[in-house]
Structure 1
Amino acid sequence: MNTHVDFTQPAPGRRRPRRAAKALTAVAVVAALAVGGAYAAGIGPFADEGPDPEATAEARAFLADWSAGRLPAAAARTTSPDRARQVLSSFTTGLDITRPKLTAKAPKETGDGTVTVPFTARMPITGLGTWTYTSALPLRQQKDGVWKVDWKLSLVHPRLSDTEKFRLEREEDKPVEATDRDGETLSGATHPSLAPVLAQLAARSGGGPRGAVLLVDRASGEVERTEAAFGKKPATKSDGPVRTTLDATWQSAAERALAEADGKNAALVVLRIDDGEILAVANSPASGFNRAVSGTYAPGSTWKIVTSSALLLKGAVAPDDVVDCPKYLTVGKKWQNVETSEHPGATFRKDFTESCNTAFISLRGKLGDGELGDVAKKYFGVGQTWHVGVPSYDGSVPAPRDATEKAASMIGQGRVQANPLIMASVTATAVSGTFHQPSLVPGTEDTTTTTPLPREVVSQLRALMRATVTEGTADVLADLPGEIGAKTGTAEVSDDQDNNGWMVAHRGNVAVACVVEEGVTGGGSAGPVLHSLLSAVPED
């Protein structure tokens, strides 16, 4: 099926001693050299100061308004506001462009009173990809002294003119057919939350959305050139549906469980502990971004599984060691626990089960600056390249740049980034001792290299996670059968947003992870989701 979207626009005194005179002469020479150097560097009174900074500032403001969708404001910065508003609107809307990223480069003076500011445009076209090109803004000072963008069609794109315009054409294949591990058909109709996953599988097989931005003659509509092309047709016709590692039963239960997220953006991953095969990937909303696999989130206190591993590996702490849990701790900034709780004289076990931020931060000196990231990569595969079967984000644990950032990394904040796929895998590795690259389709390439966790560390981690269910913050799962272990997490996002809620858990041969955006707490938001999931599928 082809669809067409058109963008249509057209201080006399005594003689000084000889030595003093020499000294003064030397100073004078140095001063002269300094002044000369300044002239040579172009910073003296006759230096070329370059383009007026106000012109550059106006160009950047125009690009910022355009990027943010404030088109009337952007247009008002031009010499032809009405026309500019019409063209900018038609260009972005007609070509299905969302959230353009426009980056200004160094300004130039052209000699005729105009200042030119080149820029790079990255235009995301919905469902297809990003169209990248370069253009330039001409700016001219008006009679009132104000700089404005000298409006021309070509500033939007160099080839846009009174005689040529752009047209977007889309061509779509039928949705990819997929089956679960037992051959049961999977589709967006039967499992709506799989929609972004199935779209990624289609792209992997060479199908999926395709399209192009075409330059056409305004009068005849004749295509003059292809400006950008997206997607590609399959080299050969598929012999059948794509077989996945998914399990229809777990997938259905995961989708129903996300209803417990109360309409908030959420994501969930279920995988097998013994081989990393993914049993369910669920996203809410059901369409759009595959946040479960490709999302980037601070994992919050679920990351304390990795932090605990790093501490236990080097004998820096033991579960029964006393590690005080005060209400507040200042390291660069004032840190506190959820609901400003405190546990004086707590053991490390208690710190883990109650998810005490201040206790974990107090142990930061036990680890080298890059040690947490090294442990994450060496034992848990985080930050290595994973070949899951669809595009995935494989985590990042950069070395902290200062004490505040190191404190943050101890509790899964700062620049530590993960998603439900990563945290489900972290859970599986922690309770089995061995990392298995997660996979969504059989036979994916595995280039990871990891080291098994020592058996003693695994036993300690399992005991800590089990105690979190029986006597800690994950007690929402305590009424379920089986030796369930878990860890909750609350991750700060910004001053303007509620915290994200996290929970990871394991039972039998299954590890699960869930994030609920702006869920406030892990136990209160992700907890009910995992309770629903594990209740629906009692057998692993």
Structure 2
Amino acid sequence: MRSGAKTAVIGGVFIVFAGGVGYGAYSLYGGSGGGAGATTRSAEVKTGPLSAAEIDKAAKDFLTGWADGTDAADVAQLTNNATAAGPAISGYRDQAHVTKAVITPGTAAGAKVPFTVKATVAFKGQSKPWSYSSELTVVRGKTTGRPLVDWAPSVIHPKLTDSTVLVTGEASAPPIKAVDRDGTELTKEKYPSLGAVLDQLRTKYGEDAGGSAGIELMLKADSGSEDGSGTTADAKAAADQSLLTLSKGKPGELTTTLDAGVQAAAEQSVKKYSEASVVALQPSTGEILAVANNRKDGWNAAMLGQQAPGSTMKIMTAALLLEKGLVGADKPAECPKNAIYQGRKFQNLDEFSIPNGTFAQSFARSCNTAFIKLIDDTEDDGALAKEAQEVFGIGLNWQTGIPSFDGSVPAGTGSEAAAQYIGQGTVQMNVLNMASVTATAKNGAFKQPVIVPRTLDDRKMATAARSLSPDAADQLRSMMRLTATNGTGAKAMSGLGGDKGAKTGSAEVDGQTTSNSWFTGYENDLAAAAVVQAGGHGGDAAGPVVASVLSAG
């Protein structure tokens, strides 16, 4: 393999060549033998780094055994986790219905061996070619010393996980023609960031949209993965993902709340950064207008992510302090360069201070200490958690229309409570949550986010216990306007007009040298929030993402 491997199919026979030496000829699932059985165990347990020859042989034995159709249990023994590998290998033939395959190994890079698969999938008289690339890694067995394939489901297919399986059959849900609020079609090809969202919409609403199912090769949640209720949390959140269509079904039309123009802007904005997410929604209705992610794994982190939101959390903290009468936007507020709370030191960025400043100035410049110094005055360790739930709807089991995480602000005590006030510690949010928080500040009342109209089904909407008090809402909006015009969000929001407000955030993450960049803002009746992993200051990376989306509204 290291000298450039080649494959050939001659009369239905599978041949792998490396460096001019044929590994052998195998009929796919024809039982010609020699694959898994070619490996013998040495009486002496070897140790130390693997040689190139050991890596080549281990990869060859596994790939030829897999392609040959050798008993899956035997092929699984060529991995370091035979119990997990066996079902995935047998399922490739028995559940995915792969009837032919040519596996072409590439040049090894150390212990990693890339390969391509060109296969045929056949089911009930329908067949289609299927190709993809994957890789395997060879390791030395801990107890045997043998070179073994380091088992991971992604060896079989790069999207396969412990909680999913490959299945070919009638699609579990008919295809959909998803359209935006004005009837513009939304496709994965034109809006690639919507891939996961469209799959989830199809899974939930395909049958109700009036279409008929076709035959497809699908990545499905594995109902046998246990968490006490039948499936893992990841599997329950996963939507069936179509990998290959053997025969098309008839799509039904599904109207979403998305806006094609805003979605296009969101797609372009996140492409400027690796690992970025953004959500835009309408404060007056809670309708989601755009969801976009730029991630290698394709995961919908915008709606399912759980991270510390940094100082964007100060929107809720400020609302709490305003409602309790502990601060006023135009009233004096202490902002020293650092503060100690129950033995833990907190400081502002570069240890700045604001002598004789107002609370609005502390908010606009994101002064940590101005917030932390007021914790004891709330006289309630759970005050922030209550404000988050009762006013901003956090943790109320949102029914957006597809799987989503609705935020978490647990009751904090001691220095942990202080960290929560500035969006660190145990606070967990995603950009959907922060866009909703901003929308609540703008609107004065929580509107549960939705991505399909409420009239589509009878799902129950989450309802906050109360609205933000009018006086606190007015002051909060004035402080967000100051942030957007003269504070940390001014540069990013400078190109926007109308009624606008913003809040920046930087969230420190263990093991990460640069903080995550967070930004949330609104312009008129459009709110958006973004996060850029390791993007630094909120206004530097996430800020331009939000501004681009708001300008498209």
- The match for 1:189 is 189
Alpha-carbon shift at residue 276 of structure 1 (Å): 0.3
Q: Is the 8 A contact 1:180 1:243 kept in 2?
A: yes
- The match for 2:92 is none
1:299-338 matches, cutoff 5 A: 299-331=309-341, 332-338=343-349
1:178-327 matches, cutoff 5 A: 178-205=178-205, 209-211=218-220, 240-261=252-273, 264-285=274-295, 288-327=298-337
Alpha-carbon shift at residue 493 of structure 1 (Å): 1.1
Helix, strand or coil for the counterpart of 1:424? helix
**What CA distance in whole angstroms lies between the structure 1 residues aligned with 2:387 and 2:153?**
49
1:66-215 matches, cutoff 5 A: 72=139, 75-76=141-142, 78=143, 80-82=144-146, 85-86=148-149, 89=151, 93-94=155-156, 123-125=162-164, 169-170=167-168, 173=171, 176-205=176-205, 209-211=218-220
**What CA distance in whole angstroms lies between the structure 1 residues aligned with 2:292 and 2:344?**
36
Q: Is the 8 A contact 1:171 1:211 kept in 2?
A: no
Alpha-carbon shift at residue 344 of structure 1 (Å): 2.3
For this pair of structures, how many residues does the alignment match?
395
Partner letter of residue 194 of structure 1?
A: L
Q: Which deviations, in whole Å up to 9, do the C-alpha atoms of 1:16-71 show, x marking residues without a partner?
A: xxxxxxxxxxxxxxxxxxxxxxxxxxxxxxxxxxxxxxxxxxxxxx99xx99x997
1:319-398 matches, cutoff 5 A: 319-331=329-341, 332-367=343-378, 368-398=380-410
**What CA distance in whole angstroms lies between the structure 2 residues aligned with 1:335 and 1:490?**
14
Alpha-carbon shift at residue 356 of structure 1 (Å): 0.4
Helix, strand or coil for the counterpart of 2:278? strand
Q: Is the 8 A contact 1:170 1:211 kept in 2?
A: no
Q: Is the 8 A contact 2:262 2:290 kept in 1?
A: yes
1:502-513 matches, cutoff 5 A: 502-513=518-529
Bigger-Rg structure (1/2): 1
Q: Which deviations, in whole Å up to 9, do the C-alpha atoms of 1:425-454 show, x marking residues without a partner?
A: 111111211111100001253143431111
- Note the residue ranges of structure 1 that are not aligned, 5 or more in a row: 11-61, 100-122, 129-167, 216-226
Distance change in 2, residues 1:365/1:496 (3 Å): same
Q: Is the 8 A contact 1:176 1:199 kept in 2?
A: no
Partner letter of residue 386 of structure 1?
A: W
- Note the residue ranges of structure 2 that are not aligned, 5 or more in a row: 1-65, 75-79, 86-135, 208-215, 225-230, 243-248
- The match for 2:449 is 438
**What CA distance in whole angstroms lies between the structure 2 residues aligned with 1:176 and 1:329?**
55
Alpha-carbon shift at residue 302 of structure 1 (Å): 0.7
- The match for 1:17 is none
1:10-25 matches, cutoff 5 A: 10=74
Q: State the identity %.
A: 40
- The match for 2:474 is 459
332-341 vs 433-442, greater mean Cα deviation: 332-341
RMSD: 3.4
Q: Is the 8 A contact 1:493 1:500 kept in 2?
A: yes
Distance change in 2, residues 1:97/1:266 (3 Å): closer
**What CA distance in whole angstroms lies between the structure 1 residues aligned with 2:436 and 2:255?**
21
Alpha-carbon shift at residue 193 of structure 1 (Å): 1.3
Distance change in 2, residues 1:303/1:213 (3 Å): closer
Helix, strand or coil for the counterpart of 2:505? strand
**What CA distance in whole angstroms lies between the structure 2 residues aligned with 1:233 and 1:333?**
47
Partner letter of residue 513 of structure 1?
A: A
Distance change in 2, residues 1:253/1:212 (3 Å): closer
**What CA distance in whole angstroms lies between the structure 1 residues aligned with 2:393 and 2:223?**
43
- The match for 1:417 is 428
Alpha-carbon shift at residue 342 of structure 1 (Å): 1.9
**What CA distance in whole angstroms lies between the structure 1 residues aligned with 2:284 and 2:304?**
23
Q: Is the 8 A contact 1:408 1:414 kept in 2?
A: yes
**What CA distance in whole angstroms lies between the structure 1 residues aligned with 2:420 and 2:160?**
33
Q: Is the 8 A contact 2:266 2:290 kept in 1?
A: yes
- The match for 1:448 is 463
380-389 vs 326-335, greater mean Cα deviation: 326-335
1:528 is the counterpart of 2:528: no
Distance change in 2, residues 1:233/1:252 (3 Å): closer
- The match for 2:498 is 482
Partner letter of residue 201 of structure 1?
A: L
Helix, strand or coil for the counterpart of 2:540? helix
Q: Is the 8 A contact 1:195 1:287 kept in 2?
A: no
Q: Which deviations, in whole Å up to 9, do the C-alpha atoms of 1:358-393 show, x marking residues without a partner?
A: 111111112211110101100110011100011000
Helix, strand or coil for the counterpart of 1:522? coil
Distance change in 2, residues 1:250/1:90 (3 Å): closer
Distance change in 2, residues 1:519/1:175 (3 Å): farther
Partner letter of residue 345 of structure 1?
A: N
**What CA distance in whole angstroms lies between the structure 1 residues aligned with 2:461 and 2:201?**
18
**What CA distance in whole angstroms lies between the structure 2 residues aligned with 1:285 and 1:254?**
14
Partner letter of residue 536 of structure 2?
A: V
Partner letter of residue 406 of structure 1?
A: A
- Relative to the length of structure 1, the TM-score reads 0.67
- The match for 2:107 is none
Alpha-carbon shift at residue 357 of structure 1 (Å): 0.8
180-189 vs 249-258, greater mean Cα deviation: 249-258
**What CA distance in whole angstroms lies between the structure 2 residues aligned with 1:288 and 1:233?**
12
Partner letter of residue 307 of structure 1?
A: T
Q: Is the 8 A contact 2:501 2:522 kept in 1?
A: yes
Q: Is the 8 A contact 2:175 2:206 kept in 1?
A: no
Distance change in 2, residues 1:172/1:392 (3 Å): farther
**What CA distance in whole angstroms lies between the structure 2 residues aligned with 1:289 and 1:530?**
20
- The match for 1:469 is 484
Helix, strand or coil for the counterpart of 1:355? coil
Alpha-carbon shift at residue 89 of structure 1 (Å): 3.0
- The match for 2:514 is 498
Alpha-carbon shift at residue 497 of structure 1 (Å): 3.7
**What CA distance in whole angstroms lies between the structure 2 residues aligned with 1:306 and 1:437?**
16
Q: Which deviations, in whole Å up to 9, do the C-alpha atoms of 1:107-138 show, x marking residues without a partner?
A: xxxxxxxxxxxxxxxx334xx5xxxxxxxxxx
Distance change in 2, residues 1:95/1:512 (3 Å): closer
Q: Is the 8 A contact 1:169 1:212 kept in 2?
A: no
Helix, strand or coil for the counterpart of 2:391? helix
**What CA distance in whole angstroms lies between the structure 1 residues aligned with 2:159 and 2:549?**
38
**What CA distance in whole angstroms lies between the structure 2 residues aligned with 1:210 and 1:519?**
33
274-283 vs 446-455, greater mean Cα deviation: 446-455
Alpha-carbon shift at residue 330 of structure 1 (Å): 2.3
Partner letter of residue 461 of structure 1?
A: L
